[in-house]
Amino acid sequence: MLYRTNPVNQKPLSILGYGCLRFSRKGTAIDQAKAEKEMQIAIERGVNYFDTAYTYGGSEVCLGKFLSKGYRDQVNIATKLPHYYIKKAGDMERYFKEQLERLRTDHVEYYLMHMLNDIAAWERLKTLGIAEWIEEKKEKGQIQNIGFSFHGNTENFLKILEAYDWDFCQIQYNYMDEHSQAGRKGLKRANEKGIPVIIMEPLRGGRLVQGLPKTAARLLEQENPRRSPAEWGLRWLWNQEEVTVVLSGMNDAAQVEENVRIASEAEAGCMGSHELEVIEKVKAQINHCMKVPCTGCGYCMPCPAGVDIPGCFSAYNTRYTDSWYQGMKAYIMCTTLKTSPTNASKCLKCGKCEQHCPQGISIRKELEQVKRHMENPVYKIAKIVSRRIGKY
Ligand code: SF4
Ligand code: SF4
């Protein structure tokens, strides 16, 4: 296992982290015995970062039960505050206490604001005293590092990054999201600030593996028949020195072994220019399936009506390059769960954005299509639920 040093506290973090969202299930419950076996292999092979969250049904309990069998001191626990449920000052303490109980521990090494996707959500938390609460928890040693996980656009990521003295952050990043979400720009900025960056969705929920267009899969195979699409995706990440830990939601012993093998070889700078060109060709094949040729540059922003233009297009494209489910998930996450929604139907058709788009996209026309195809009954229900929990 290779390790990278957390520049904040100089401690080693395994470059492969265990994502605890996707444990195997027996019926509706987590298969505890199977999950424990897989986690044990990971720890024996050197994985020392385990990522869970309050809202990952049963995951904190499963992890806590396993770690209490003598493994707690060998790992860093990362878990997340469901800040969108917080309505009043005492709520954060209530959730945190419950999480410690579930995890059977008295402290967590890494604690995140879960899906802190826009700066307004952070401002709201500040009015409820979150900064003072964090300070108190850190003084008591109950929280060692404070960070946030992020699924919004680059602009909001940079704002949140500058809004507080964070110890780390977690972003969705993979070769298809190089210029969307926090993107390479966000990764580099976080690195310049001297904080570790944890990567989630390294293979876009598996879409860069089983969901690759045939032409793209063939390109990878021709280049190296022994290297799987998953290995290409992981190596692309570890090739970048700014990446600290890559999370993988492992639920199969062979998958743990294979990921550990790659994480024992993939040093920063491990990919040559020719291999990076192959990845660019694969991206071009995937982009060929896209509906809107938006690069996520953000020159069209800000929109006076509050539409997250690149976020809307990115989710809309995901529906066609990946799947309906992945696209809807991305659209709900990027346009709701915010103090103010940022969906396509908020467009007032002023046309201001179109003057700045280097791709010459008819943004108003395309947003109409986004609205038509994405703002279906499922979305409307998700928006109502988000409004209730976020109180916007
Ligand atoms: S046309 Fe719509 S998306 Fe573009 S700036 Fe105006 S309101 Fe925003
Ligand atoms: S300016 Fe054009 S390409 Fe850039 S994010 Fe906006 S719509 Fe996309």
DSSP category for residue 55: T
Q: How far is the CA of 297 from the centre of ligand 2 (A)?
A: 5
Q: What is the DSSP string of 240-277?
A: STT--EEEE---SHHHHHHHHHHHTT--TT-S-HHHHH
Q: How far is the CA of 289 from the centre of ligand 2 (A)?
A: 18
Tell me the pLDDT tens digit for each residue of 151-198: 888 889 999 999 999 999 999 999 999 988 899 999 999 999 999 999
Q: What is the DSSP string of 165-215?
A: --SEEEEE--GGGTTSTTHHHHHHHHHHTT--EEEE-TTGGGTTTTTS-HH
- Whole-number pLDDT of residue 390: 59
| Ligand with the closest atom to the CA of 300 | 2
- Is residue 365's pLDDT more than 60? yes
Q: Which amino acids bring their CB within 6 angstroms of ligand 2?
A: 294-300, 309-310, 313, 356-357, 359, 361, 363
Q: What is the DSSP string of 292-336?
A: S------TTPPPTT---HHHHHHHHHHHHHT-HHHHHHHHHHHHS
Domains of the chain: 3-275 (3.20.20.100), 309-390 (no CATH)
> What integer is the mean pLDDT of 316-344?
88
Q: How far is the CA of 298 from the centre of ligand 1 (A)?
A: 13
Q: How confident is the model at residue 392 (pLDDT cuts 50, 70, 90)?
A: very low
> What integer is the mean pLDDT of 268-272?
96
Beta-bridge partners for 330? none
User: What whole-number distance in Å separates Cα of residue 297 and Cα of residue 367?
Assistant: 17
**In the chain, what percentage of residues exceed pLDDT 90?**
78
- Whole-number pLDDT of residue 358: 67
Mutate which of 155, 180, 287, 295 for ligand 2 pocket (most atoms within 8 A of beta carbon):
295
Region for 81 from its dihedrals, namely left if φ exceeds 0, alpha if ψ lies in -120 to 50, beta otherwise: beta
> What integer is the mean pLDDT of 53-75?
97
Please tell me the residue having the least CA distance from ligand 2 atom 3. Answer: 294
User: What whole-number distance in Å separates Cα of residue 159 and Cα of residue 77?
Assistant: 27
Average pLDDT, the chain: 93
- Is residue 369's pLDDT more than 90? yes
Mutate which of 155, 316, 352 for ligand 1 pocket (most atoms within 8 A of beta carbon):
352
| Ligand with the closest atom to the CA of 313 | 2
Nearest to 116 by CA among 77, 86, 90, 136: 86
Report how far apart the first and last C-alpha atoms of the chain are (Å, whole number).
45
- Is residue 295's pLDDT more than 80? no
- Whole-number pLDDT of residue 367: 98
| Ligand with the closest atom to the CA of 364 | 1
User: What whole-number distance in Å separates Cα of residue 178 and Cα of residue 339?
Assistant: 26
> What integer is the mean pLDDT of 352-361?
83
Q: Is 353 in the pocket of ligand 1 (CB under 6 A)?
A: yes
Q: Ligand 1: which atom is nearest the Cα of residue 349?
A: 1
Q: Tokens in use for 386? A: 């988000």
Lowest-confidence pick of 159-173, 201-215, 239-253? 201-215
